[in-house]
Amino acid sequence: MAETNIAQDTENFSSTPTSKRCRQSESVHNSPDKHCCTEVSEILISIDNKLSGLDSRIALVEVLHREFQQIRESLEFSQDQIITLIKENKSLQHSVTTLTTQVTSAAKENKEMKETVLDLQGRSMRDNLVFSGIPEQTQDDNPEQLIKDFMITQLKISPDTVKDITFHMRVHRIGQKNTSNKRPRPVVAKFEHFKQKQQRQGRQLKGTDYGLKLYSQSVNKTCNMGKKQ
């Protein structure tokens, strides 16, 4: 009898509300809805990770875009500089061409002027004689007297003839005195009356250290050398 009562009490306890809630909880945990929620959560996490990776790639693209923009601006600046340099180079080439033309023209004019001066000099001094080889004296060098003595001793002209010879201009040596050069400077003299016969006596100087020639001959030689250049 007592055992029958205990069994009834146990059955009644299992049918109480508390026991019903416990059975419902176990049913929820083991239901298909729980599995579905887990999959959705995993999908959301995967999407979030992919979005994070996409954000990183977008940030990298933005950085590359800025760098590309900087490179583009640098190239445009370099191109502008190249265009400027090309223009300046053309301007310089034009200036060089102009200067070359001017220098060529100036050189031509200078050559013509030099030839003209030499020609005028030769005409004005065509009657001058150049005596070479006459030693220079250290002091009181008197070229006029040296020429007269030279005419007597070397050209064998009589002293009486030499005495009557007069000079049209000052007798002088050519060039600056150079102590390091032992060779005497030539002497230029223009005679008022000096006959061609007396000039021909310069042949007697052949084979000696002396020389006698017309000044115009040396000028013409210089002119011809300038024309050949």
CA angle 41, 46, 51 (to 5 degrees): 125
Output the pLDDT for position 97.
94
Amino acid letter, 39: E
Partners of 212 in the β-ladder: 131
Amino acid letter, 208: T
Print pLDDT tens along the chain (229 aa): 444 444 445 444 444 444 444 444 444 445 566 677 888 788 888 888 888 888 888 888 898 999 999 999 999 999 999 999 999 999 999 999 999 999 999 999 999 999 888 778 767 666 678 888 888 876 667 888 888 888 888 888 888 888 888 887 778 888 777 777 678 888 888 876 665 445 556 667 777 878 777 765 554 554 444 444 4
Q: Which helix (H) or strand (E) holds 185?
A: none
Output the pLDDT for position 169.
74
Q: Which two tokens stand for residue 68?
A: 């590309």
Q: Which helix (H) or strand (E) holds 45?
A: helix 32-124
Q: Which helix (H) or strand (E) holds 172?
A: strand 172-173
Output the pLDDT for position 20.
45
Output the pLDDT for position 107.
95
Output the pLDDT for position 110.
94
* Cβ within 8 Å of residue 147, ≥6 positions away: 131, 134, 171, 187, 189
Nearest to 133 by CA among 199, 49, 202, 72: 202
Output the pLDDT for position 223.
43
CB 131 within 8 A of CB 185: no
Quote the DSSP letter at residue 16: S
Q: Which two tokens stand for residue 77?
A: 């600046």
| N-term to C-term CA, the chain | 159
Output the pLDDT for position 105.
95
Question: Hey, how many other C-beta atoms are within 10 angstroms of the C-beta on 223?
Answer: 19
Output the pLDDT for position 195.
56
pTM for this model (two decimals): 0.41
CA angle 131, 132, 133 (to 5 degrees): 130
Residue 226's SS3 state is helix
Residue 207's SS3 state is coil
Quote the DSSP letter at residue 208: S
In angstroms, the Cα distances linking 81 to 68, 69, 90, 94 are: 20, 18, 14, 20
